Structure 1
Amino acid sequence: MRLALQYCPYCGEQDLRPREEPDGAWECADCRSTFVVTPVPAPARGSA
């Protein structure tokens, strides 16, 4: 599953492209940074 990203976490631009490797990696065409997004499950309700 690939999440839809809106902004680069480094420069804030929106020209993001998915990369083949590693899994979950994205590349920003503006600042040329590559980063990996790992989904974190939400805590169960009532477990605060």
Structure 2
Amino acid sequence: MRLALQYCPYCGEQDLRPREDPQGAWECADCRSTFVVTPVAQEARR
């Protein structure tokens, strides 16, 4: 499952597009950066 991102972590703009390679990558059309977001599991609070 791929979640939609809202902001580029480098420039803060919102024009993001998913990329095929590498898997899970996104590209910012404004600053031309490509980055991968990896989900991290969280433990349940008690």
Do Structure 1 and Structure 2 share a fold, with TM-score over 0.5?
yes
Percent identity between matched residues is 87
Write the letter of the residue equivalent to 1:15: D
Give aligned pairs, total: 46
Q: TM-score under structure 1 normalisation?
A: 0.87
Q: TM-score under structure 2 normalisation?
A: 0.90
Q: Which runs of 4+ in 1 moved over 3 A?
A: none
Which segments of 5 or more consecutive residues in structure 2 lack a partner in the other structure? none
Which segments of 5 or more consecutive residues in structure 1 lack a partner in the other structure? none
Rg bigger for which structure? Answer: 1
Asked if residue 16 in structure 1 is aligned to residue 16 in structure 2, the reply is: yes
